[in-house]
Structures are given as structure tokens and as C-alpha cells.
Amino acid sequence: AQTVTQSQPEMSVQEAETVTLSCTYDTSESDYYLFWYKQPPSRQMILVIRQEAYKQQNATENRFSVNFQKAAKSFSLKISDSQLGDAAMYFCAKGAQKLVFGQGTRLTINP
Amino acid sequence: DTGVSQDPRHKITKRGQNVTFRCDPISEHNRLYWYRQTLGQGPEFLTYFQNEAQLEKSRLLSDRFSAERPKGSFSTLEIQRTEQGDSAMYLCASSSLSRAEKLFFGSGTQLSVL
């Protein structure tokens, strides 16, 4: 079975600082997608960033970037200049239409 | 683009009752997905449709669960003879065929089985 592991149940960061959330995964596939989703208290899953496994270049979306290490099966999310609105649960996921999610990391932003 | 909408937002039911949830995807999206999320966990895949065809079902989807998408538009998820273990958030998502990996999620239906 494919698994996605987020080893940090909770993280906190000072506003305007940088934080990195970790994710590792297991797969036998050579081509796949990796995602980070944000789930605020409203419970709606919001796509933060997406990485295609065949692309070596790390994806970037404004203040959000990833460090994709395919050989190590690692996919971390870096949030720069953290803002209060970034506070949420963050889920790492792998797949395409059938996503496998990690257990999530609760991110707290300290003012 | 009005987004993915789910109804109801919350449902409280007694054990043994049947419940039905509805999902309206983004109008031009061919694919529709159901996920279940229990407290403190990430969502788990249940099933997905391409147009009206149900293409895959998870082993999590027991015989008490049935999903339909009769006209390739909205979908319903029915749970028969609910059990307390069915208490969870049921999330619906949709995507286009050309960007199948880009899922848009609804706000979910929170089910509480007493």
C-alpha cells in the first residue's frame, strides 16, 4: 500500500518567519504528482502547490515552495514570510485522481 | 465558477438510519470524487466517477455505502444502516479531464451518528 508520512503533528512559527513542513512517501511508480493542501477551520481543502515527479525543478507559488527529493522520496513545503492567514492544517498528498494523504501538520502562526 | 457545493453541511442521525449526501461539482468537470475524513486524519479516497460511470471504489466503501452520478452531473452518497464508526467528514471533489490531477474540494458534509 502506498503511504504518505508527515512526521510533524504540530509546528509553530513567528509571523514573517520561514517554516518548513516535512513529508515522505512510498511509491513504486516513476511518474506521479505530489501536493500540499491547506485545510483551515472551514474544513475546505485548498490546493497550495503541486509538483510533477518527472520535473526536477522545484515548484514555487509566491511564498510557498517545495524541496522535492525524488530519490529520497521526500517532499517538504517551505512557507516564507509567514502570515496569520497561513494558520491551518497542512496535508501532503500523492497521486492523481486517487490521492493518498498524510496525517497532517497543524501550523500555528505566532504574532 | 461557483465551486463544488455539498449539502447538507451537517447531518446528525441515529444509529441504524439511512442518510444521503449530495455533491454538485464544478459544472464543466467530468470527474467527481468522494473522500472521507475522520478527526485528526487526512482524507481517505472512497470512490470516483468519470461522467456517470463509477470507475473505482475503495475497499473502505462497504456494502452499506452506495454512490451514484446518474446524469454525469451531481452525485449522491448514501449510507444505509449507519454505525457510529461512520461519523466523519465526507468530502466531494471534482476535476476536469484535461487537468485530472487538479482537484477542487467542497466544504464537506459532517456526519454525526449517535
Using the Cβ of A34 and the Cβ atoms of chain B, whether some distance falls under 8 Å is answered with no
Q: Say how many C-beta atoms besides its own lie within 10 A of residue B100's C-beta.
A: 16
State the pLDDT at residue B1.
53
Using the Cβ of A44 and the Cβ atoms of chain B, whether some distance falls under 8 Å is answered with yes
Q: What is the pLDDT of residues B35-77, one digit of tens each?
A: 999 998 999 999 999 999 999 999 888 899 999 999 889 999 9
Using the Cβ of B108 and the Cβ atoms of chain A, whether some distance falls under 8 Å is answered with yes
The answer to whether the Cα torsion of A103, B82, B5, B72 is positive or negative is: positive
- Residues sharing a CB contact under 8 Å with residue B56, sequence separation 6 or more, in sequence order: A98, B47, B48
Q: Which residues of A touch B40 (CB under 8 A)?
A: 103-104
State the pLDDT at residue B62.
87
Distance CA B97, CA A104 (A): 28
Q: Which residues of A touch B48 (CB under 8 A)?
A: 97-98
Residue with cell 512526521: A7
Report how far apart, in Å, the C-alpha atoms of A81 and of each of A10, A47, A51, A63 are: 19, 19, 21, 7
Say if CB A73 and CB B19 are below 8 A apart: no
For residue B52, the SS3 value is coil
Grade residue B33 by pLDDT with cuts at 50, 70 and 90: very high
Q: What is the pLDDT of residues A27-83, one digit of tens each?
A: 888 888 999 999 998 888 999 999 999 888 999 999 999 999 999 999 999 999 999
Alpha helix segments (H runs only) across chain A: none
Residue A111 pLDDT exceeds 70: yes
